[in-house]
Structure 1
């Protein structure tokens, strides 16, 4: 009776701690305006204030416990975990507005995990959205559940409710509020991500909330493609056997088609968010590795793919056919899912065979997380190699890239990419986000400036790496549009994360500038990256595996390398250039060039020229268009940064190759005029 949250696994540090007494997801930044409250239930008037049970449970005013004042609402007589108090908000919530919903919960006795959810109905069909995931609640103290919710479509029924995960014990709720902060317009005067990163399409995972109002404007401005985050999974498309519904996915697909956005289909086969009936045998018992159960399970799999993939036909050009099949803790590397336990590897073979038959036009991918962990990477490589040798039509490998500000290193990630090059298949970054947290015990009310800075440099360095392999990487997708709607707010623990390029009010973060124009990152980062950070892969069963990253990494430092030192020029000119090597590794380096207009007239277009006397070669460049003949380099402005006012500046960055030494250029000319060197 609920919609499950996204359960793909992020790479986080250390083990999961015991749940804190109070867990609050901060809903807005410290500098946001005062929220406008549209709903309040404090239960101080002796009534239930319009709340009702979802079934036959009893709701009553109580003075036995109160979070504030003297009263609360007691919910008792529950016979199922999903039963609980609910409130009609159909005439309160407006489509496209992001509401922050807060409720205080306390068990009457014992303990459980509480959740905050929304039920909506359209055409008599119910759907369930989780606002706050499992949060530990006891009888010893009040716990706050706070999350954001945006209604994305017209509905005939809309109720917010509180449920638990396992028991039917009585509980209290109190001081319920719903509020919103008036939306800001999106920034239209900044470069679009898709216009700056042209080596491959850049996409975002979406829900219904991302295709309305300002969210839709932001999506259309910056991205080439979309991935329906949950709407194409098995529980959303075939909740009961041979009963297919596309109520969640169809609006997203229609929006993508109307706005010329490519679509990645996610996902046809996964061990999570698959209804229990799929793994129930004809005898009503859980399936085992018998011939009869295997035949039935593979038949259900084929039927599902033939229906779902055929429903959208050529509207979906890429499918994540199978998702998260590797478990590096197993000696053979195969995840012991129900799929594997009943069919071995035949579920993968069947899924790709049928997907090719139904969608011969589509790229077919095998998708997994933590593929920058050597053991997992190698198991996946071996599996793909084996299956392709058998003729299984695997077209691409998907690297999820759920990472954080400390892990992984650039070296680990580049090893991930280069490992699969010999297979001659596409590689795609499918679910990227960069958590600001480095352990499960951290919880920030407001994202710290130093974490946002580190995040910006992670995005800078990762996108620079991806752009270094344009022939191998055929798309990069971020797992969300903005920080107001991210799965990391509830996984692996409940807290407000900020893992994306745009903040909770859809404004560009430093992370955005890390991708689009690293020179606009506001502050210098720390001198170096950790040389031996410990990464922990958290599985759904909460098992923990640890790996130590190598010390070799591309540092996000902006200090100039010893071989690139240069003394300031004492010449005078109408232009000034600052050239920096911002990272260096064997055979390659990253550079940044800042052009200052020190004259009295505005520039309406520019060409910057210099010579690489050490034989360096530019391999990728952002913020301009490069041309190189021998040692001579010319960079011409991009469409969005050609106008530089008097006293203003612009910056571009690049990746280059070098051997032996990497000397700094000793002279620059801008539109034929010699520039001072700073």
Structure 2
């Protein structure tokens, strides 16, 4: 059914990658629209209230045409318009849902989101389609996201809700569409055949096990991590009432496809039901002896049930997750777990997990472990607990990074730090955002960002493979760009952090892993850079950098990188945002100067410090491409 790409298409893709250009897919299928609600006929067109609010057609405001849907009389944020899509959505098909929203005049600013309510055998579940998006009375805002129905349901409605207030709002021009799936590429190397030093896995939901997603997953990866299905809110939503409805199908898929499973996670301060942290009287727990005993008993009961349910089917567990806060004097996160039990919840979790799953590798997992203060705090905790005999087998480094941070050297220092402890190390949640900060947003991933991302994957995987003696697995936090948590965190925008794009086709990042020769940067003729010192004084100087676009295509955004040869440091900049690690500097465009036409120029300035010498840099790259220096 899924045929290899024609040879000509494969050659075109390779050529495009050689020049750093993100290629279009061969014969991209056109979207098929299955729902359109424009409210131009004066009716609600099937939309109905979820609670006691009023939902009715209105001509008071419109995004397109003269009509919209007005939502008034709300008393709760979840109240809003909903549409029955039970007979529209097919399991395994990914839909794009878009709705235009604006608040009514006088309503306080808020955030709105798109959600789905689904029922299976009368049990309700809720999924987010588009994350919190700022809305106001001043302009229409599009809420847009992708959704895949992955389970059988007997009730399915999509709805609009708000985050904080209960003001009135309008909805207009709602569309639901899908793009027929492309076949996965079967004429490219399998990741599992190229990276053989350790298992390479992906975090999954049920959607990743269906159709072409399931084919892609089984073809390239050797392990899976259920992203949410094993967390406390999914497995024990009410006390001593255990449910494995979300996780069991994922484990069954893994067994059927000979994939190892990483269990994530037994203890976390997030996604833990509120009842866990209430005392015997139902009040929030405080640090008393009684509450300590109760909380540890609940923890032990949870682990004994969940870990025992899966037995040897799960060979690795992230036992505790994100317990470090390097800003605290003792380095520990001030969660309710810690406030009530201090370190005893970690001791209990690992001790009980070892009893219940004696053959599993038991991991303590955290993010930003490349940051020295956090890395050191985690090291100290693991060293202390292992010295007590607590069975911590390994350290999990999440590695949620971006195209500009961290450096390979910082990441290698992270790995080397834990070698003396003799623990297993695993890369547990890797993704590489195309954004450098929260102010950036692109309607589509720019080619230079995808190229820069490919270099990051190339360099990081090469580092991990050099340290194969310490690293026993690498897991990506997702399968493809069509389903990534970074679309809604830390802000709502489309990100592209993984190896395969939204159509499940290989990206430059994929080639960075399996064949880095395929990501040669563009020719040097695309940019020219002028660097000059405009003023100097003892210990300080002022510089100006001018970029000329000598290529044939306009720049939609830019990032210029160089290395200072004499230890200079940038202390302040204008018309650009600098980042510096050691001698390496990257400056990205400001909001107003990212667009540079062919033949056009842009510039930025900075203040810097120097000692001994102030030698000018001799080489610059723009989005990974070498520039001529003028």
**TM-score (structure 1 length as normaliser):** 0.74
Is residue 43 of structure 1 aligned with residue 39 of structure 2? yes
Three-state SS of the structure 1 residue aligned to 2:510 is: helix
In the other structure, the counterpart of 2:429 is: 431
In the other structure, the counterpart of 1:161 is: 159
Three-state SS of the structure 2 residue aligned to 1:263 is: strand
1:230 positional shift: 0.7
In the other structure, the counterpart of 1:288 is: 286
- Whether the 8 Å contact between 1:432 and 1:479 is mirrored in structure 2 is yes
1:445 positional shift: 0.9
Structure 2: tracts of 5 or more residues without a match:
1-23, 525-559, 570-577, 586-630
- Whether the 8 Å contact between 1:290 and 1:342 is mirrored in structure 2 is yes
In the other structure, the counterpart of 1:496 is: 494
1:33 positional shift: 4.1
In the other structure, the counterpart of 1:550 is: 582
In the other structure, the counterpart of 1:110 is: 108
Three-state SS of the structure 2 residue aligned to 1:68 is: coil
Distance 2:98 2:196 in 1: 42
Distance 1:206 1:376 in 2: 27
1:276 positional shift: 1.2
Three-state SS of the structure 2 residue aligned to 1:194 is: helix
Structure 1 pair 113–338 and aligned structure 2 pair: CA distance change class (3 A): same
In the other structure, the counterpart of 1:519 is: 517
Q: What do you get for the CA RMSD once the two structures are aligned? A: 2.1
1:250 positional shift: 1.2
Distance 2:234 2:25 in 1: 33
In the other structure, the counterpart of 2:557 is: none
| Aligned mate of 1:129, from 127, 130, 147 | 127
Three-state SS of the structure 1 residue aligned to 2:287 is: coil
- Deviations 1:223-265 (CA, angstroms, capped at 9, x unpaired): 0000001111111111111111111111111111111111000
Three-state SS of the structure 2 residue aligned to 1:484 is: coil
In the other structure, the counterpart of 1:73 is: 69
Three-state SS of the structure 1 residue aligned to 2:159 is: strand
- Whether the 8 Å contact between 1:30 and 1:446 is mirrored in structure 2 is no
- Whether the 8 Å contact between 1:406 and 1:530 is mirrored in structure 2 is no
1:528 positional shift: 6.0
1:69 positional shift: 1.2
- Deviations 1:531-581 (CA, angstroms, capped at 9, x unpaired): 7999xxxxxxxxxxx99633489xxxxxxxxxxxxxxxxxxxxxxxxxxxx
Distance 1:279 1:77 in 2: 34
- Deviations 1:43-101 (CA, angstroms, capped at 9, x unpaired): 11111111112222221111222111111111223232222211111111111111110
In the other structure, the counterpart of 1:343 is: 341
Structure 1 pair 66–333 and aligned structure 2 pair: CA distance change class (3 A): same
| Aligned mate of 1:190, from 188, 213, 218 | 188
In the other structure, the counterpart of 1:58 is: 54
Distance 2:396 2:484 in 1: 20
Is residue 362 of structure 1 aligned with residue 394 of structure 2? no
- Whether the 8 Å contact between 1:52 and 1:87 is mirrored in structure 2 is yes
- Whether the 8 Å contact between 1:533 and 1:548 is mirrored in structure 2 is no
- Whether the 8 Å contact between 1:97 and 1:180 is mirrored in structure 2 is yes
Distance 1:533 1:339 in 2: 45
Q: Number of residues paired by the alignment? A: 515
Note the 1:443-592 alignment, pairs <5 A.
Answer: 443-524=441-522, 549-551=581-583
Is residue 383 of structure 1 aligned with residue 388 of structure 2? no
Structure with bigger RCO (C-alpha 8 Å, 6+ apart): 1
In the other structure, the counterpart of 2:95 is: 99
- Whether the 8 Å contact between 2:364 and 2:394 is mirrored in structure 1 is yes
- Whether the 8 Å contact between 2:561 and 2:584 is mirrored in structure 1 is no
Distance 1:80 1:293 in 2: 33
Structure 1 pair 505–514 and aligned structure 2 pair: CA distance change class (3 A): same
In the other structure, the counterpart of 1:145 is: 143
Structure 1 pair 463–29 and aligned structure 2 pair: CA distance change class (3 A): same
In the other structure, the counterpart of 2:82 is: 86
In the other structure, the counterpart of 1:320 is: 318
In the other structure, the counterpart of 1:172 is: 170
| Aligned mate of 1:392, from 390, 393, 399 | 390
Structure 1: tracts of 5 or more residues without a match:
1-27, 535-545, 554-678
In the other structure, the counterpart of 1:564 is: none
| Aligned mate of 2:305, from 304, 307, 320 | 307
Structure 1 pair 121–345 and aligned structure 2 pair: CA distance change class (3 A): same
| Aligned mate of 2:406, from 391, 395, 408 | 408
Three-state SS of the structure 2 residue aligned to 1:177 is: strand
* Range that drifts further, 75-84 or 385-394: 75-84
Structure 1 pair 510–137 and aligned structure 2 pair: CA distance change class (3 A): same
- Deviations 1:414-454 (CA, angstroms, capped at 9, x unpaired): 00000000111100000000000001111111111111111
- Deviations 1:274-306 (CA, angstroms, capped at 9, x unpaired): 111111112222111111111111111111111
Three-state SS of the structure 2 residue aligned to 1:514 is: helix
